[in-house]
Chain A
Amino acid sequence: MTQPPEDHLKALWQGQETETPAMTVKAIRVLARNYGDILRSRIWMGLAIAAVEVVMFGSNAWRAPNEILRVGWLISLAGVGWLTWRIVSKRPGRLPPAEASAQALIGFHRAELERQRTSFTWMTVTAAPVFAGSFVVMLGFQKARPNMTLANIAPLLVLIVVWWFFAFVWQRRQSRRLAEQIAEMDDLTQG
């Protein structure tokens, strides 16, 4: 005896191979973990750069030909410490435990995104001591070489201007992306 066609079709339809269903909780955990990993790798890269700068500025301060130059390098050194502390303070938090609810995970990830929000003022305050140190270093150079002209310090000035420009563009882009990601998290909970 054969099945009626509709029963055969039902069996065919329901017998289709399907994959493991997507789990929202797992997806959010993966999202939060990946984001944390990206932040951590950025911080490690920042620490490596800071370590190189500490060695460079420290050695320059040690070998400085005059006191102004030495003070300049030391201010820059302190500025690197300040900058590092500001960046490390943005390190990601520990992921909620495995049994945490999806709501808790969304809340955690949203808070992390919110914590990464910065403003141009935040960046200025973070980098200001290093730039102040650079300014004193320039004064020290002028004392060491009184015949120094603007052309001699032009590369440094250009570097500073370029830094401000890219910091401004990067900050705006980052801010926009964070706002989008936060809105996505809000969509998940508010519908």
Chain B
Amino acid sequence: MDASQQDERYAAAAAELGGAIERLARAYEAEVDVRGDLIQDIHVALWRSFAAFDGRCSLRTWVYRVAHNTAASHVQKRRRFRPERWASLDAIEALPDTDDPETAVGERRALSRLMSLIHQLAPPDRQVLLLYLEDLDAAAMGEITGLSPGAVATKIHRLKALLARRFAEGRAKA
């Protein structure tokens, strides 16, 4: 692939999925300044990756894979300097929801609760939840995460139940 093709592919991907990249960065990095660097790193990784893009998977799948890998390495690097406590899906399900659903009114509040839940999840579960929220199908999720279709289906099932339990009641009361 020549340099101009690489730029064109990158520009098209950034225009189409720039918003999704930013949402993903928000889910992986809570600090605004550092998040800006992460977004830039993802864009650079994406641009670089298009030199090797062979079209064997969809553009969307490719972009998410590159973005998730970059964000995951960013989180691992940051964790060395600032250890965070992540919880597995099992542990999160067992934890009581500390946010009172009655006060969870308005979309901003719901979004902030969702973000806080995402930040607590360990990277593999976080990855699946983000892809689910971005509306990717199970096959694409499997391609991006490297999980088997069965494992993806199980995780989605559990994540949906978790979201339903945490948010349905709050919405009904809101």
- A residues in contact (CB < 8 Å) with B: 2, 4-6, 8-10, 12-14, 16, 18-25, 27, 101-104, 188-189, 191
A101 touches B22 (CB 8 A): no
Chain A residue nearest to B163 in the complex (CB): A6
Residues from 1 to 42 in B contacting A, C-beta threshold 8 Å: 2-4, 6-7, 10-11, 14-15, 18-23, 26, 39-40
Contacts of A24 in B (CB 8 A): 10, 43-44, 47
B10 to chain A, nearest CB (A): 7
In the assembled complex, the Cα of A10 lies from the Cα of B134 at a distance in Å of 7
Using a CB–CB cutoff of 8 Å, the interface residues on chain B facing chain A are 2-4, 6-7, 10-11, 14-15, 18-23, 26, 39-40, 43-44, 47-48, 107, 110-111, 114, 132-135, 160, 163-164, 167-168, 171
Indicate if the CB atoms of B43 and A16 lie closer than 8 Å: no
Are B43 and A6 neighbours in the complex by a CB distance under 8 Å? no
B18: contacting residue among A8, A21, A104, CB under 8 A: A21
Nearest CB of chain B from residue A179's CB, rounded to whole Å: 20
- In the bound complex, residues from chain B placing their C-beta under 8 Å from that of A5 are 163-164, 167-168, 171
- Can you give 14 contacting A-B residue pairs, CB < 8 Å? A4-B164, A5-B164, A5-B171, A6-B163, A8-B171, A9-B110, A10-B133, A14-B20, A14-B134, A21-B18, A21-B39, A103-B3, A189-B48, A191-B48
Asked if B14 contacts A14 (CB within 8 A), the reply is: no
Chain A residue nearest to B41 (CB atoms) is: A22
Contact across chains for A18 and B114 when beta carbons are under 8 A apart = no
Apart from A13-B133, A101-B6, A102-B7, what are 12 other A-B pairs with CB-CB below 8 Å? A6-B164, A8-B171, A9-B110, A10-B132, A10-B135, A14-B19, A14-B135, A20-B18, A21-B14, A22-B39, A22-B43, A23-B11
Considering the complex of A and B, which 4 residue pairs feature the smallest CB-CB distances, nearest first? A21-B18, A101-B3, A103-B3, A18-B19
Q: How far is the CB of B26 from chain A (nearest CB, A)?
A: 7
Complex Cα–Cα for A16 and B111 (A): 9
How close is B23's CB to chain A, nearest CB, in angstroms? 6
- CB-CB under 8 A from B20, the residues of chain A are 14
Within the complex, the shortest CB–CB distance from A184 to chain B, in Å, comes to 10
Distance A117 CA – B112 CA, assembled complex (angstroms) = 49
Residues of A within 8 A of B132 (CB): 6, 10
Q: Say how far A55's CB is from chain B's closest CB, in angstroms.
A: 48
Pick the most buried of B19, B26, B134, B171: most chain A CB atoms within 10 A of its CB.
Answer: B19
